[in-house]
Amino acid sequence: MSWSYSNWYTGEPDDNGGADCGRLLSAHGYRWGDSSCMNSMDYICELR
């Protein structure tokens, strides 16, 4: 399955330090940002 929708925040994803996971940026209208997979988050969903 593929889709064309994107909601990345400006400059994201930037893979800063190997950031391979995603997060919602609440301070920026819940746009997407990448993040280290070592960061603890409340939840994440994956569509397969």
When pLDDT is cut at 50, 70 and 90, the band that residue 10 belongs to is very high
Give the whole-angstrom CA distance, residue 22 versus residue 25.
Answer: 10
Q: Is the pLDDT reported for residue 48 higher than 90?
A: no
- CB-facing half-sphere around the CA of 17: CA atoms within 13 A: 6
Q: Are 18 and 36 in contact (CB under 8 A)?
A: yes
Q: Would you state the pLDDT for residue 44?
A: 66
Q: Would you state the pLDDT for residue 25?
A: 92
Read off the pTM: 0.67
Q: pLDDT by residue (tens digit) across 13-43? A: 998 888 888 889 999 999 999 998 888 877 7
Report the DSSP pairing between strands 31-35 and 21-25: antiparallel
Q: Is the pLDDT reported for residue 46 higher than 80?
A: no
The type of residue at 42 is: D
Domain boundaries of the chain, sorted by first residue: 1-37+42-46
